[in-house]
Structure 1
Amino acid sequence: MTSIPRDELNRTTCPIVETIKIIGTEARLLVLRYLFDGPKGFNQLLRDTGLSSKTLSSTLKFMEDVGIVERRIVSTRPFKVEYILTDKGKELETIFKVMGQWGEKWVLEKVKIP
C-alpha cells in the first residue's frame, strides 16, 4: 500500500480529507451501510437508520448532489421512490469493509463507544 506524504495531508485538496467531507457524518455512514444491501425506499431507510425524517431527507439530498446516491421513481400510483447507490457510491463499500475490520480489531473490543 502506498503511503500518503505528510505534506499532502495538510492540503485542502488531500483526497482523504475530501472523502471524509463526503462520507464523514454518522447519518451518511448509516445510509450507505443500508444501501450497500440494495435499493431502499425512504420509509425503509427511516426505520433502518433511526434518523429523523428531516435528517434523512437532507442527508439523501446531499448524497445525491455529490453523486453517490440516485433517487428513482418506481411508481406513480401509489407514488413510490427508492434510493440506490451509483457506481461511485458502490465503490465506497471496500472502504467500509476495511474500516469495519479495523474497528473490530482495535476499537470495539477495547473501548466502549459513547
Structure 2
Amino acid sequence: MESRSPGEEVKSICPIVETIKIIGTESRLIVLRYLFDGPKGFNQLLRLTGLSSKTLSSTLKFMEESGIVERKVVATRPFKVEYTLTQKGKDLESLFKQMGQWGEKWVLNRGS
C-alpha cells in the first residue's frame, strides 16, 4: 500500500478531461465537423469555417501535433496542402454524433 503525506494530492489522469484538452475549443470542433466529410484544403476550410487565417492555421497545427489531423502536400502546380483526419480523428465522429443528439434534445428543444 502506498503511503502519502497528510494533505498530499493524488493526481490521476481523467480520459474525459484529456479528450476535452484536445478537442475542446470552438475552432477545433468546427474544423473537425468539416473534416468528417472528407479531406479539405486550407482555403476550403477557411471558407467553410469562417475562421481567420491565423486561427485556422494554429488550430490545424495543434490538431496535427495531437495526431488527429494529417497534413499532406499534393504535388500539383501550384502545390496544394490537404488536411485529412487520421484514424484517431475519425474515431471522434461517434462522440460528435452523441453530442449532437444530446444538444438537439436538451439545448435546442430545451429538454421537452
TM-score, structure 1 as length reference: 0.85
Q: What are the residue-to-residue correspondences of 1:50-89 with 2, within 5 Å?
A: 50-89=50-89
Gapped runs of 5+ residues in structure 2? 1-9
Question: Residue 95 of structure 2: SS of its match in structure 1?
Answer: helix
1:44-103 deviation digits (Å, cap 9, x = unpaired) = 100111000000000000000010000001124211010000000000000000000000
| Percent of matched pairs sharing the same residue | 79
Q: Residue 110 of structure 1: CA displacement?
A: 2.0
SS in 2 for 1:64: helix
Secondary structure at the counterpart of residue 67 of structure 2: coil
Cα distance in 2 for partners of 1:98, 1:68 equals 19
Q: Which residue of 2 aligns with 1:25?
A: 25
CA distance in 2, matches of 1:99, 1:11: 28
Q: Which runs of 5+ in 1 are unaligned?
A: 1-9
In the TM superposition, structure 1's runs of 4+ consecutive aligned residues that sit over 6 Å from their partners are none
Report how many residues are paired. 102
Shift of 1:109: 2.0
SS at match of 1:33: helix
The corresponding residue for 2:36 is 36
1:6 maps to: none
Q: What's the secondary structure of 2:13's corresponding residue?
A: coil
TM-score by length of 2: 0.87
Tell me the C-alpha RMSD between the 2 structures. 1.5
Flag the structure with larger Rg: 2
What residue number does 1:13 align with? 13
